[in-house]
Amino acid sequence: MSSTVELTKENFDQTVTENGFVLIDFWADWCGPCKQFAPVYEKAAEANPDLVFAKVDTEAQPELAQAFGIQSIPTLMIVRDQVAVFAQPGALPAPVLEDLIGQARGLDMEEVRRSVAAQQAQAEQGGAAEGKGGEPA
């Protein structure tokens, strides 16, 4: 039996909201590297039963792939506390995946949230500054 969850547009939000740590493998059946990565991903799922390992079939769920800007598969995404902390295309070897999981476990999510908020504020200020120059008084 698979230890991964199949994500769809119907269960995606609930899965990510209800679980603090979700790894997502964006894949397709026709993709050779995806098939090579699948057993590595399954073994990592078995070795980390406290985490949610999910898969998105990009052929069956094109809306999800499009929403996340997936252009190359396989793509691995890690979501912690509803914040995407990692996204990278390519089939990872088992030691690299395990190291990545360890790094993601070690993240200070308060610091990540502060960083995201600062980036958003900076982006908003940049947008506001651009709009002020050409407006009539």
Question: Active-site positions?
Answer: 31, 34
* C-beta contacts of 106-115 below 8 A and 24+ residues apart: 107/80, 109/80, 109/81, 109/83, 112/80, 112/83, 112/85, 113/81, 113/83
* C-beta contacts of 99-106 below 8 A and 24+ residues apart: 100/76, 101/23, 101/44, 101/48, 101/51, 104/21, 104/78, 104/80, 105/21
The DSSP H or E segment spanning 60 is none
Report how far residue 53's alpha carbon sits from residue 10's, in angstroms, rounded to the nearest whole number: 17
